[in-house]
Chain A
Amino acid sequence: MTLAPEPPMGPVTLSDNTQAVLLLTSPLLVGGSEGSAGAKVLSAGEYSQLAMSLRQSRHQPADLLNGGRDALLASLPAHFDPERLSQLLSRGFQLGQAIEHWANRSITVISRADEVYPRRYKQRLKHLAPPLLYVCGHLALLDSPALAVVGSRSTPEVVLQQTTEIASLAASAGVVIASGAARGVDEAAMLGALNAGGYAIGVVADSLEKMSAKPIWRQGLIDGRLLLLSADAPSARFQPWRAMARNKLVYALSDAALVMSSDKDRGGTWEGAKEQLTKIRSCPIYVMDDPRGGEGLPAIHAMGAGLWPYPSSPEQLKLVVVDKPPLRHTPTAYHNKMHADLHAESLQQSLWDLGDFSPRLVLSEVNEDIGAATDCKSGETKQPSLKPDHSLLGRTLSPADELHAFAKKVILEALEHPKTESDLVELLKIARPQIKDWCSALVAQGHAKRLNKPIRYVRS
């Protein structure tokens, strides 16, 4: 990774635009939505409208500071309630106190108008991109390739173990781990990366001020290997709806996402993944192919998430994250209800099943999809132009499919007599997760059987 560790930021003077946006939208040091001027702070939506109106009159938020504010307020359409805006803007001293307090706690604020504001948020979230981000740590991490790793708070230890391993692999690959800094999978992923000398970003739903003071994050912040960020003022307390809003921000700054565990039909992880797969589609999503991750995983898979390909080297992981992987399912491919049947069917199939459609077509879909997501003005999503098409089957066999077909043949030959995973690893000299993946698929397709105690596979 080329990022030079940088000392945590010193005193930063906030841009005038950021100051104006803070006055309008932030509760500052006082909690809640009351701006402690008797006026409620603007919601993200309200602020967007105001920003648009300002832009139309060739103004920017900074023009609401100092000199010309009265004239500008008077010129705004009446529904903006100039009295309320004026009250919010009169909180200059509170603003000074807040900025000083936050800077003291190593927290700074950036707004959409700032150069450093993450481009991905603007591109992917459009008008839903938070007007302000409160950040603590190394801002440049926002420009690096990132893998989002998410999951529920109550996740079995063994899955957390896997999470740590994947995160440390990401660390070796120079891929930043993005997560929510909550207990469970989030912490395991971020600490896995940090402890392996890597980088992490935590999008915080709890108080950023509290979170950044936690001993587990301290060294990462001091070393410049961690960034904690939040769209909510640093003193904000945890609220379930905040966790929901937070999920969006995790996905939106990542190149790919991996769901380690999830409940079904409930919980932040589930809702977040569902929102991604059905609405926002910030990045490709994978799920673990492991029943210990909970009932949510197969269901998220059914909604369109890919199965995690278990990369076994940093290079492979980097390919999964950065290069668009040969996905069988893309997020939008399964948005279309007309293909509901196909979902059910595809669930039974494995990654390398020849019954699947061509990866090349999928690739083009992915690109298409990114285009669609970044171009959604109306909020309605453009359908992908290409649908999975079974008529293409067997016509062109991609190199990957050739490999899979060959592997299937070799493994089934080897399984004439029962063999453990270790036997196969020994025999074929390939990574265990790959063996596991292929064997499970053979079992699922009925080509092989699984024997217990110890776990072995045999051709059926």
Chain B
Amino acid sequence: MAASVFNHARALHLLRAGSGNPKADFRDGQLEAIQAVCEQSSRVMVVQKTGWGKSFVYFISTLLYRDAGRGPSLLISPLLSLMRNQVAAAERMGLRAATVNTENQYQWQRIERQVANGELDLLLISPERLQNERFILGPMAALNPSLVVIDEAHCISDWGHDFRPDYRRLGRLVKTIPNISLLATTATASQRVMDDLAAELGPSLYQLRGDLNRSSLTLQTLQLPSQTARLAWLASTIRTMEGSGIVYTLTKRDARVVAGWLKECGIEAEAYFGGSSMVSSERERLEEALIRDQLQVLVATTALGMGYDKPNLAFVFHYQMPGSVVAYYQQVGRAGRALEAARGVLLSGREDLRINQFFIRNAFPTRAAVEEVLTVLDQAPEDGLHLNRLMETINLSEQRIQQTLKILSLEVPAPVGCTNNMWQRLPAPVSPSFWQRVERLEQRREEELNQMQAFLELPYGSHMPFVVQALDGDPFNVDAPRLAPLSELVDRELAMHAAAYLKRLDIPIYPRKEWPIWGIPSFAPPKNKYIYTSRKAEVGRALCYWSDAGWGGLVEQGKYKDGRFSQELVDACVALLERWSPSPAPEWVCCIPSSRHRELVPDFAYRLAGALGLPFVEALVKVRENEQQKAMQNNTQQVRNLDGAFAVCPELPPGPCLLVDDMVDSRWTFAVAAWQLRAAGSGPVLPLALAQTGQGR
């Protein structure tokens, strides 16, 4: 029998000290979990809904291990937002806790010192960190934890709704960690996921499973196909809600649009999303603002995800339908943790299915992409190739190439690997089981999407039992909803306002500042990737998003049906310029030439110039037949395709110009044209596009 570091009196003392309540006692299952974790080298899995108090289990266990002279704990969790909360909570319990991530590199040295001196009890990291060389090889390697905690452990399972490649690696890693206890926790795991985890984490996995029903939550689904109807419903409903909440959207673009609309309706709302277009300090600020009720609504993508904990969240609404019931449960489950009653309303629109299917199709690399990447790396020099070099040879988007490389590199054995940012072919083939797994996962996601469709159709009162059953809980234990359903009627006037709002989105087009390193065009100085300020485009505007409910339909019709953009669009652009009132104001108008639709854009630009009372100048001509720009998948390919495509007429007017095009996506066309125009003597160049494409296209 393995030794245990468990000590009941001490555990209870820690709980009371940590919760600030001298009479507190363990909740159902907590003590049992702590006991299990305190057996040395144990394997424990805890499935409990968020808010049950999983963190008490590992905080207290950590301290008991430390009391026994054992090493600290390592907590692996996918989200930064969680880590900040967790570090604070751990410190309240008297643990010396820290987190290392890309955003606090300035603190790494201090944390490394703490690790070296054994002064740390708990280190929190994301699974990606386990791939980081400094973390693996540096002083932090000497952390030598005695307890490893994997939060959101369902991500390890292929069957999980939100499987992550880095977690796959983690699942393999923890198979062989002798002399260490493992605690895996999740709030959402079906029996299939549990079985899978037991297979991954070892047969001796000790499982503790709690009740998943959230009796405080009233769930409801409403099908409102049009965006305007959903925007109107959201605005009128949120005004009547007491307390704050979250509105989830499927894309960043929708998060921006919805947040903008709610603000216009006088609601304190902000958009929240992941990726490089929002800095993490901004995300942190928004999370805090919601927690402190300085905001009523955060309009967020799934980036506001697992672990975000605001106990008194009154509602979680969905602007669009998530891809699976489990994902939905996880998001909606943020509401009403410490409230008597809270609402979850799922709105569903006509674009939901298209977007979800796009996500499924793009979750894994295609066979063609894998083949192409491997072929190029097979012929690469011994040291391998940088991603930039791969983009030069492969016409796939940067994201697609990166995803392909990443997923392949996490295989065991891996066909490709990365050392010092150089990608190399490794001595292993892509195994047939890789493709089998990809197919199985895609199929699984289709099934989950179907299940979600069925969820949409449910009558009021049957939603929570459906969710609990989908998670293999007991649906007969679920109470009836506590609140009456909300009306699905939409205020007509508000809907018209929403339609008008969608027609003046005025999307900024930010100028490109650097050429891709292997794609510097021939007219720019060689080996200088920077685009001079004097050659750069100004911040421009796009009238709408491609296929949105504002001008999207008219733009599409003009481009693909009529072959001519309507007068309404000319008027809309005149109105846009009035609202925009760029400084300096444009003094003449020109446009991007095309050899495919020779008339389309020049005709529109000519009419727009007329309506603005400005001269139209045919400043740019197409001098090289190039590929369609939209077929170019990454920056390098995009710039190369444009290099030498345009010539500039001599004798341009010296003043600022309005540069018109129909679509904008990568912004390289504007960057290349702006440089050439400025080099030929034009004043500042203001790009104007009818529609912004890309993202959820």
CB within 8 Å of B: which residues of A? 7-11, 13-14, 16, 19-20, 23, 29-31, 36-38, 65-67, 69-70, 87, 89-97, 99-101, 103-106, 136-137, 212-215, 217-218, 221-222
How far, in Å, is B129 (CB) from chain A's closest CB? Answer: 11
Contacts of A95 in B (CB 8 A): 176-178
Contact of A106 among B142, B410, B426 (CB under 8 A): B426
17 contacts between A and B (CB under 8 A): A7-B431, A8-B427, A9-B413, A11-B172, A11-B412, A23-B178, A30-B137, A66-B179, A89-B179, A92-B144, A93-B143, A96-B173, A101-B136, A104-B413, A105-B426, A106-B428, A222-B429
Contact present for B142 and A96 (CB under 8 Å): no
Interface contact B169-A31, CB-CB below 8 Å: no
CA distance A412 to B174 in the complex (A): 75
Check B224 for interface membership: any CB of A closer than 8 A: no
Residues of A within 8 A of B221 (CB): none
Q: Which of B635-688 contact A (CB under 8 A)?
A: none
Contact of B142 among A31, A37, A69, A92 (CB under 8 A): A37
Note all chain B residues with C-beta closer than 8 A to A10. 412-413, 431
**CA gap between A106 and B412 in the complex, in Å:** 7
Known A13-B176, A93-B74; judge A215-B141 contact (CB<8 A): no
Instruction: Indicate if B41 sits at the interface (CB-CB under 8 A).
Output: yes
Whole-angstrom distance between the alpha carbons of A89 and B172 in the complex? 20
Q: A9-B413, A99-B173 are in contact. List 7 more A-B contacts (CB 8 A).
A: A20-B178, A36-B139, A100-B172, A104-B169, A104-B409, A214-B382, A221-B428
CB contacts under 8 Å to A, within B494-533, are: none
Question: Within 8 Å CB of A23, what residues of B?
Answer: 178
Q: Are B175 and A96 in contact (CB under 8 A)?
A: yes
A75 to chain B minimum Cβ distance, whole angstroms, is 15
| A-B interface pairs (CB < 8 A), number | 133
* Distance between Cα atoms of A410 and B314 in the complex (Å): 108
Could you tell me which residues of chain B, from 415 to 441, have a CB within 8 Å of some CB in chain A? 417, 419, 424-429, 431
A215 touches B178 (CB 8 A): no
Q: Please give me the residue from chain A that is nearest to B384 by CB atom.
A: A213
The reply on B9 being an interface residue by CB < 8 A is: no
Q: In the bound complex, what is the Cα–Cα distance between A124 and B141 (angstroms)?
A: 37
Contact status A103-B413, CB under 8 Å: yes
Contact indicator B382/A215 (Cβ below 8 Å): yes
* In the complex, B411 has a CB within 8 A of chain A: yes
- Indicate whether B3 reaches chain A with its CB closer than 8 angstroms: yes
A67 to chain B, nearest CB (A): 5
> Which of B137, B177, B179 neighbours the largest number of chain A CB atoms within 10 Å of its CB?
B179
Min CB distance A292 to B, Å, is 29
Q: Which residue of the partner chain B has the closest CB to A89?
A: B179
Contact residues on B (Cβ < 8 Å of other chain), bracket: 35 or more
* Contact across chains for A100 and B169 when beta carbons are under 8 A apart: yes
Q: Closest Cβ of chain B: how far from A185's Cβ, in Å? A: 20
- Which chain B positions have C-beta within 8 A of A11? 172, 412-413
Interface residues in B108-143 by Cβ distance below 8 A to A read 130, 136-137, 139, 141-143
In the complex, what residues of A have CB within 8 A of residue B178's CB? 16, 19-20, 23, 65-66, 89, 92, 95
Checking B41, B176, B177, B425 against A215 with a beta-carbon cut-off of 8 angstroms, the contacting residue is B425
Q: Does B71 contact A (CB under 8 A)?
A: yes
- Measured between alpha carbons, how far is A221 from B419 in the docked complex, in Å? 20
Known A104-B417, A222-B428: A93·B137 in contact at CB below 8 Å = no
- Interface flags, B476-497, vs A, CB<8A=1, else 0: 0000000000000000000000
How far does the alpha carbon of A13 sit from the alpha carbon of B74 in the complex, in Å? 23
B417 touches A213 (CB 8 A): yes
B190 at the interface (CB under 8 A from A): no
Q: Which residue of chain B is the closest to A23 with respect to CB atoms?
A: B178
- Contact string, B314-349, partner A, CB cutoff 8 A, digits 1/0? 000000000000000000000000000000000000
B40 touches A (CB below 8 Å): yes
Of B2, B411, B428, which one neighbours A66 at CB under 8 angstroms?
Answer: B2
Say whether B414 faces chain A, with CB atoms less than 8 Å apart. yes
Option from B2, B175, B179, B429 in Cβ contact (under 8 Å) with A90: B179
Give complex CA distance A212, B413 in Å: 12
Contact A213 B424 (CB under 8 A): yes
A106 to B139, CA, bound (A): 26
Q: Is the CB of A217 within 8 A of B427?
A: yes
Residues of B close to A30: CB separation below 8 A:
137, 141
How many angstroms between the C-alpha atoms of A10 and B430 in the bound complex?
11
Give the top 9 A-B pairs by smallest Cβ distance, nearest first.
Answer: A221-B427, A106-B413, A96-B177, A66-B41, A92-B180, A65-B178, A92-B179, A100-B173, A36-B142
Determine which residue in A29, A104, A221 has the highest number of CB atoms from chain B within 10 A of its CB, and name it.
Answer: A104
Contacts of B71 in A (CB 8 A): 90
A29 partner, pick from B74, B136, B144, B176, beta carbons under 8 A:
B136
Q: Which single residue of chain B is at the shortest CB-CB distance from A228? A: B427
Q: What residues of B have a CB within 8 angstroms of the CB of A92 in the complex?
A: 144, 177-180
The answer to whether B356 has its CB under 8 Å from any CB of chain A is no
Which of A65, A67, A91, A104 meets B414, CB within 8 Å?
A104
Distance from A40 Cβ to chain B, minimum over Cβ atoms (Å): 13
CB contacts (< 8 Å) of B428 on chain A: these are: 8, 106, 221-222
Q: Shortest distance in angstroms between A149's beta carbon and chain B's nearest beta carbon? A: 22
**Within the complex, which residue of B130, B144, B413 is in contact with A105, where a contact is CB–CB below 8 Å?**
B413
Note all chain B residues with C-beta closer than 8 A to A66.
Answer: 2, 40-41, 178-179
Complex CA–CA separation, A9 to B412 (angstroms) = 9
Contact (Cβ within 8 A) A93 B144: yes
Q: For residue B389, give the distance in angstroms from its CB to the closest CB of chain A.
A: 16
Name the residue on A nearest B431 (C-beta): A10
Q: How far is the CA of A106 from the CA of B425 in the complex (A)?
A: 12
CB-CB < 8 A to A97: which residues of B? 130, 136, 173
Separation in Å of the B325 CB from the closest CB of chain A?
A: 32
Asked if residues A14 and B176 are in contact (CB atoms below 8 Å), the reply is: yes
Name which residue of chain A comes closest to B427, CB basis: A221
Contact digits for B197-241, partner A, Cβ 8 Å, 1 yes 0 no: 000000000000000000000000000000000000000000000
